[in-house]
Amino acid sequence: MLPRWSAGDGTRVGSPGVEPSIDPDRFVVHRASPRGFAQAFVREGVGGVPLVCVHGWPETKRIFWKVVEPLAAAGFEVIVPDLRGFGDSELGPDGFHDVASHALDLYALVHDVLGHERVVLLGGDLGGPVIQDLALRYPDWVDRMVLFNSPLPYLKDAMAGIRDTRPAREASDYFLRQGLDPDGLAEELATPDMRRRYIATFYTSRFWAHPGAFATLAEVDFHTEPFADAAKLRASFGGYESSFSEAARSGPTLLGPNAHTPTLVLFGPSDHVIYPAFDRMAATVFARHTGPFLLRDCGHFVPWEAPHALVSGTVAYCGDLLR
């Protein structure tokens, strides 16, 4: 039997004979409902420094499966939620699935339910704007951030001398379709297999990841399986829809320059969807930044593609807190 990490209460979990990194039962999944829906989350290393890991799109909490154990072993209490409408979490009861909703959900879960008065936030892609919002919305709650391959506010004057501040246009078709015609796209993806095949392109042929990062079909299947559900796939388009439609926003998203939160900036440059100049752009957004550090042979999915770099960087950055 392959070894497994422990559940939050010390019991052992996992599926015999399944590679741990693609075992959906590797960690105990907890649920809480502070905002009117059941939000699923993994919680390991209880009693350590609270570290909230926030996934992006098209991801779920599973994108962090390679880093949960080593981060907990380093002294963090690792909290990895599924955002509303993703993975094992229920849909938002108010119909909103935008950044502001996700941010308020996480504060309610981690502060109100789990009782943490100070946290470290880690995230990329959609999780990037979520943690940036939280750091501006609750500045006294967020000790520091670890940010990678994420949307950023565009600061026209500060970024005037930076080239490549927009993603390649040929990579934006998905963004436009999911944002402007989410219902039409969801209707076209009529079967679980069609939905999973659509999501699989983001891990493979769209070159978001460094070539070979998802080396087996089993790895791709592990990440696409949660998107087979029609209602959840449609809900996951909410972040894109809210970029174009005010009606899809539950409230304003706080996304702008941050002068106070210490932020470690990491960048997987083999990424064909995020800004080629993400590292330089992020350095203008976060006045108290460390880095940016470029991760060799790594693309969009940093926790999966460069788990050791993410873990070692986070542990070093938070060494004073861990002591």
3-state secondary structure the chain: CCCCCECCCCCECCCCCCCHHHCCCCCCEEEECCCCCCEEEEEECCCCEEEEEECCCCCCHHHHCCCHHHHHHCCEEEEEECCCCCCCCCCCCCCCCCHHHHHHHHHHHHHHHCCCCCEEEEEECCHHHHHHHHHHHCCCCEEEEEEECCCCCCCCCCCCCCCCCCCCHHHCHHHHHHHHCHHHHHHHCCCHHHHHHHHHHHHCCCCCCCCCCCCCHHHHHHHHHHHHCHHHHHHHCHHHHHHHCHHHCCCCCCCCCECCCCEEEEECCCCCCCCCCHHHHHHHHECCEEEEEECCCCCCCHHHHCHHHHHHHHHHHCHHHHC
CB-based contacts of 3, cutoff 8 Å, min separation 6: 20
pLDDT, residue 164, reads 87
Residue 163 lies in a domain: yes
pLDDT, residue 172, reads 87
pLDDT, residue 77, reads 98
Residue 91 lies in a domain: yes
How open is the CA angle 279-283-284, to the nearest 5 degrees?
Answer: 125
Residue 291 lies in a domain: yes
pLDDT, residue 290, reads 98
Residue 301 lies in a domain: yes
| Residue ranges making up the domain that contains 280 | 20-167+251-322
Residue 85 lies in a domain: yes
Domain count, the chain: 1
Residue 70 lies in a domain: yes
Residue 176 lies in a domain: no
Residue spans of the chain under pLDDT 50 = 1-12
> Can you tell me the distance from the alpha carbon of 249 to that of 244, in angstroms, rounded to the nearest whole number?
9
pLDDT, residue 12, reads 45
Q: What is the CATH number of the domain that holds 142?
A: 3.40.50.1820
pLDDT, residue 3, reads 35
Residue 193 lies in a domain: no
With a threshold of 0.85, does the pTM exceed it? yes
